[in-house]
């Protein structure tokens, strides 16, 4: 058996380790080397390709062979199909004419070719020496460099004379040499038959580059190790480009997850790929619940066809459904509730496929503001109309009353006619009272605001109300001894309290309790979010509460409108609460009503407080800074979406972890779960058949260590009388962020046994 020359064996191994297809072209432009990778690439066998003109495979060969360079070229397979290859050529001088080494690779492939074993040793040497894109060199069994090509000289900056005989660990950074990585890599290649990796390598000048390395052991015909073949490529730019792409992707992901609007990415069929945190807050779904499902699941069935048309027609849809347009639609939450939203869809390309970017903007706050604005404009319009009528009517009444009095004086001898004149005068006076109420509602009455002690006024009103109201009405007062001085018209405030007391009496047909309380309050910017017409500042609060029949929601919506009344014809003008509303607004104050059928009604009058130089409001402004959360979990139960949203916002800003429920049943479902909950913060009066009292009692039985804080817009004595469990702390509505922070901290820090 004739042994193969060791050099030939080494050269064949080098070709086997090279990652691309290789060809050798003679001076006559004919193929003299055609390896297995070329067979796979061009569809020719080596037997068919050898001796053929290279132009059959690469039509532009003559132009490409004029200089050493790397480029893209059009290639042709045996079956005639055309495709693009990455091409690298280099001349190999041999005297009078040059051979050319060709490296070819399909642009989307990375194929490690195998050398054709029938090519002679001389052709292999020319091939290896001519390659400049790859560092191809040999190592002896100890790891010392035994051969060196042009590519190795270009990439690593060593000449053959400088590096031959030196250990290949010279190419590793110092920390890798110290850890023994070069020796480990040789061992892995020897034991596994191949070692491939990427990592930092070092040039002669000490600079580093990111390399792709293939290391294969060389063995003789008996299997004995005779050295190693190594191929290295500088892929620093490729790595840098990939890093730029990864960083851009990370920035885009962060942007999507932090924007306040919902962002959804879907494929061209509308199937959801990305669902950001804002979408979770809007719709209530976790991302894993919706990924892969159609986006129409987030809309009511009546709107599903509209969103389908977006994906059906895309950029070719009509003007109304065109991609990129913004339109108002209705969103569907996981719990079945709906909300108004702006929805816009954009289209882009990703990996050659259409991708849709859907942006969802919640319109709930805007709609609420619009409704409040419409209501305010309506009240202003009615007020202007009422004021104009009242002014003209007052002129008529002046004539009527004045002439009636004159006639009465002239008819002393005719008592029958004089009596008629007095009736005319009394009717005129009643008309004047009505016009005065109209003027109060329209805020055109002349007010005489003074510094007012509301405690003294309520105390004097108590003496007036006792003989005015029925005997079955109990009157209670609870006056704040530290009450600030208000700035308001005394007679108008007396009239407002009297009107409220008379309304309360009408609501308590079988008797009841009327409570009038005073206190200091500060309304801040967070309260203004829910009540747009409020000016933040310090106020004196006068509350009038009854435990009568209460009012349903549809009545509450119209309660301040003039001439609106639920009383029988002739028993009410419908101007009592309108007058109260107009007086408080004209005084730069605020008025609110809380009522529920069967529970009674509380009307709160907020009158501007005169600054006393006391630092009370400043104290409450920064109280939250001294009452931080310690990571407690709070379950909020509130049926009013605006109040619930406000409470969630306040608690999250204080650092609490918040879980929200819409009613008692929803809260019990959460309490039955395994999640940790420290505090239950619940409204007392809620729909659904479970009150806050009942929810609190059940929750404390389920979780004995649970802290509970109740809240209500109704008078405490009214709701406390209807509860089954007393002793639980209650936070009065409306509450500010500082009030909530303080009260919640007190509940958490005080053991239940000490309350």
Task: Tally the residues of the chain.
Answer: 755
| Whether 520 and 462 share a structural domain | yes
| Structure confidence at residue 571 (pLDDT) | 45
* Residue closest to 739 by CA, chosen among 541, 590, 587: 541
| Structure confidence at residue 471 (pLDDT) | 86
Q: What is the pLDDT of residues 520-540, one digit of tens each?
A: 988 877 777 666 677 888 899
| Whether 434 and 454 share a structural domain | no
In eight-state DSSP terms, residue 623 is G
| Residue 507 · residue 550 · CB < 8 Å | yes
> Residue 54: how many CB atoms within 10 A of its CB?
22
Q: Which pLDDT band holds residue 574 (cuts at 50, 70, 90)?
A: very low
Q: What is the pLDDT of residues 264-307, one digit of tens each?
A: 888 888 889 889 888 998 899 998 999 998 888 888 887 777 77
pLDDT at 251 exceeding the cut of 70: yes
Q: Which pLDDT band holds residue 716 (cuts at 50, 70, 90)?
A: low
Q: Which pLDDT band holds residue 69 (cuts at 50, 70, 90)?
A: low
| Whether 719 and 679 share a structural domain | yes
Region 547-553 average pLDDT: 84
Using the 3D structure, point to which of 177, 202, 235 is the last residue of a domain.
Answer: 235
| Whether 433 and 316 share a structural domain | no
pLDDT at 14 exceeding the cut of 80: no
* Residue closest to 76 by CA, chosen among 47, 49, 115: 49
Residue 669 lies in a domain: yes
Read off the tokens for 600: 């009674």
| Whether 174 and 303 share a structural domain | no
**Does the pTM exceed 0.75?**
no
How high does pLDDT run on average in the chain? 78
Q: Name the more confident of 349 and 196.
A: 196
- Report the b/e string of 211-221 with b at 16+ CB within 10 A: bbbbbbbbeee
Instruction: Say how many domains are in the chain.
Output: 5
Residue 618 lies in a domain: no
Residue 181 lies in a domain: yes
| Residue 275 · residue 264 · CB < 8 Å | yes
Q: What is the pLDDT of residues 650-692, one digit of tens each?
A: 888 888 999 999 998 999 999 998 889 999 999 887 887 888 8
Q: Which pLDDT band holds residue 569 (cuts at 50, 70, 90)?
A: very low
| Residue 714 · residue 594 · CB < 8 Å | yes
Find all residues with CB under 8 Å of 6, minimum gap 6, and list them: 220, 226
Q: How far apart are CA 402 and CA 405, in angstroms?
A: 5
Q: Which pLDDT band holds residue 383 (cuts at 50, 70, 90)?
A: low
Q: What is the pLDDT of residues 131-179, one digit of tens each?
A: 778 888 989 999 999 888 888 889 999 998 899 999 999 999 999 999 9
Task: Domain of residue 526: give its range.
Answer: 449-608
Tell me which range, 135-139, 371-375, 592-596, is most confidently predicted by mean pLDDT.
135-139
Residue 240 lies in a domain: no
Q: What is the pLDDT of residues 463-509, one digit of tens each?
A: 778 877 888 889 999 999 999 999 888 878 888 888 888 888 888 88
pLDDT at 748 exceeding the cut of 80: yes
Residue 314 to residues 294, 299, 354: CA-CA distances in angstroms?
Answer: 16, 19, 10
Q: Which pLDDT band holds residue 584 (cuts at 50, 70, 90)?
A: confident
| Whether 111 and 170 share a structural domain | yes
| Whether 358 and 371 share a structural domain | no
Region 423-449 average pLDDT: 61
Q: How far apart are CA 36 and CA 119, in angstroms?
A: 12
| Structure confidence at residue 113 (pLDDT) | 39
| Whether 325 and 373 share a structural domain | no
Q: Which pLDDT band holds residue 621 (cuts at 50, 70, 90)?
A: very low
Helix-helix angle 454-468:490-507, to 10 degrees: 40
| Structure confidence at residue 105 (pLDDT) | 83
| Structure confidence at residue 534 (pLDDT) | 79
pLDDT at 567 exceeding the cut of 70: no
| Residue 391 · residue 385 · CB < 8 Å | no
| Structure confidence at residue 200 (pLDDT) | 93
| Structure confidence at residue 330 (pLDDT) | 87
**Cα R_g (the chain), whole angstroms:** 44
Residue 564 lies in a domain: yes
| Whether 591 and 719 share a structural domain | no
Q: Which pLDDT band holds residue 310 (cuts at 50, 70, 90)?
A: low
Q: For position 43, which CATH number holds?
A: 3.30.450.20
Q: What is the pLDDT of residues 626-652, one digit of tens each?
A: 466 788 899 999 887 877 887 888 888
pLDDT at 199 exceeding the cut of 60: yes
pLDDT at 559 exceeding the cut of 70: yes
| Residue 456 · residue 486 · CB < 8 Å | no
* Residue closest to 607 by CA, chosen among 624, 587, 623: 587
pLDDT at 437 exceeding the cut of 60: no
Three-state secondary structure call for residue 674: coil
Residue 245 lies in a domain: no
Q: What is the pLDDT of residues 79-136, one digit of tens each?
A: 888 788 888 888 877 666 778 888 888 765 433 333 344 444 555 566 666 677 888 8
Q: How far apart are CA 214 and CA 233, in angstroms?
A: 9
What is the SS3 assignment for 132-195?
Answer: CCCEEEEECCCCEEEEECHHHHHHHCCCHHHHCCCEHHHHCCHHHHHCCHHHHHHHHHHHHCCE
| Whether 742 and 637 share a structural domain | yes
Find all residues with CB under 8 Å of 307, minimum gap 6, and list them: 270, 295, 296, 299, 329, 343
Q: For position 684, which CATH number holds?
A: 3.40.50.2300
Residue 315 lies in a domain: yes
Residue 244 lies in a domain: no
> Residue 64: how many CB atoms within 10 A of its CB?
17
| Structure confidence at residue 442 (pLDDT) | 45
| Whether 231 and 315 share a structural domain | no
Using the 3D structure, point to which of 342, 362, 382 is the last residue of a domain.
Answer: 362
| Whether 84 and 190 share a structural domain | yes
Find all residues with CB under 8 Å of 504, minimum gap 6, and list them: 473, 512, 514, 544, 545, 546, 548, 601
């Amino acid at each position: 058996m004739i042994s193969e020359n060791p050099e030939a064996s080494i050269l064949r191994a080098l070709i086997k380790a090279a990652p691309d297809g290789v060809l050798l072209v003679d001076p006559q432009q004919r193929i003299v080397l055609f390896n297995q990778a070329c067979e796979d690439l061009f569809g020719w066998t080596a037997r068919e390709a050898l001796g053929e003109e290279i132009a059959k495979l690469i039509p532009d060969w003559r132009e490409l062979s004029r200089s050493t360079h790397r480029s893209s070229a059009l290639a042709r397979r045996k079956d005639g199909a055309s495709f693009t290859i990455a091409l690298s050529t280099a001349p190999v001088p041999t005297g009078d004419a040059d051979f050319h080494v060709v490296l070819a690779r399909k642009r989307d492939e990375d194929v490690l070719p195998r050398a054709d074993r029938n090519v002679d040793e001389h052709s292999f040497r020319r091939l290896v020496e001519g390659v400049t894109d790859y560092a191809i060199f040999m190592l002896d069994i100890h790891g010392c460099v035994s051969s060196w090509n042009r590519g190795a000289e270009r990439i690593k900056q060593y000449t053959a004379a400088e590096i031959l005989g030196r250990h290949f660990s010279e190419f590793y950074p110092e920390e890798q040499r110290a850890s023994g990585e070069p020796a480990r890599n040789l061992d892995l290649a020897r034991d596994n038959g191949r070692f491939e990796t990427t990592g930092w390598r070092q040039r002669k000048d000490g600079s580093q580059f990111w390399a792709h390395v293939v290391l294969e052991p060389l063995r003789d015909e008996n299997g004995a190790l005779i050295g190693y073949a190594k191929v290295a490529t500088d892929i620093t730019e490729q790595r840098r480009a990939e890093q730029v792409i990864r960083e851009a992707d990370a920035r885009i992901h962060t942007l999507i997850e932090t924007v306040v609007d919902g962002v959804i990415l879907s494929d061209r069929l509308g199937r959801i790929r990305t669902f950001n945190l804002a979408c979770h807050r809007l719709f209530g779904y976790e991302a894993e619940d919706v990924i892969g499902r159609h986006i129409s699941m987030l809309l009511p069935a009546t709107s599903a066809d509209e969103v389908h048309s977006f994906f059906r027609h895309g950029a070719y849809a009509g003007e109304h459904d065109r991609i990129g347009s913004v339109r108002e639609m209705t969103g569907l939450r996981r719990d079945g509730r709906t909300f108004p939203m702006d929805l816009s869809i954009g289209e882009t390309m990703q990996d050659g496929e259409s991708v849709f970017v859907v942006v969802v903007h919640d319109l709930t706050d805007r709609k609420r503001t619009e409704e409040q604005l419409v209501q305010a404009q309506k009240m202003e319009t009615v007020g202007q109309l009422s004021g104009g009528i009242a002014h003209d009517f007052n002129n008529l009444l002046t004539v009527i009353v004045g002439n009636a009095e004159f006639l009465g004086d002239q008819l002393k001898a005719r008592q029958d006619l004089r009596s008629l004149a007095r009736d005319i005068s009394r009717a005129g006076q009643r008309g004047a009272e009505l016009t005065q109420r109209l003027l109060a509602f329209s805020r055109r009455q002349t007010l005489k605001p003074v510094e007012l002690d509301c405690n003294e006024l309520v105390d004097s009103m108590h003496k007036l109300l006792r003989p005015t109201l029925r005997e079955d009405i109990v009157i209670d007062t609870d006056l704040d001894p530290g009450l600030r001085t208000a700035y308001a018209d005394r007679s108008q405030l007396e009239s407002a309290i009297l009107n409220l007391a008379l309304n309360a009496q009408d609501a308590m047909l079988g008797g009841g309790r009327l409570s009038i309380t005073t206190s200091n309050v500060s309304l801040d910017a967070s309260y203004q979010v829910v009540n747009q017409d409020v000016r933040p500042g310090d106020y004196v609060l006068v509350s009038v509460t009854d435990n009568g029949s209460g009012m349903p929601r549809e009545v509450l919506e119209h309660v301040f409108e003039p001439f609106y009344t639920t009383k029988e014809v002739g028993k009410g003008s419908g101007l009592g609460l309108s007058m109260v509303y107009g007086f408080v607004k004209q005084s730069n104050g605020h008025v609110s009503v809380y009522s529920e059928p069967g529970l009674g009604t509380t009307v709160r009058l907020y009158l501007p407080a005169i600054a006393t130089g006391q630092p009370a409001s400043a104290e409450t402004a920064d109280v939250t800074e001294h009452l931080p959360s310690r990571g407690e979990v709070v379950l909020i139960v509130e049926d009013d979406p605006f109040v619930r949203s406000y409470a969630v916002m306040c608690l999250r800003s204080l650092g609490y972890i918040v879980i929200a429920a819409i009613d008692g049943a929803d809260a019990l479902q959460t309490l039955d779960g395994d999640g940790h909950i420290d505090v239950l913060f619940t409204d007392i009066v809620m729909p659904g058949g479970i009150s806050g009292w009942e929810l609190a009692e059940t929750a404390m039985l389920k979780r004995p260590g649970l802290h509970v804080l109740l809240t209500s817009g109704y008078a405490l004595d009214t709701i406390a009388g209807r509860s089954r469990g007393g002793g639980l702390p209650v936070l009065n509505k409306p509450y500010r962020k500082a009030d909530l922070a303080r009260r919640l901290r007190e509940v958490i820090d005080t053991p239940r046994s000490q309350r």
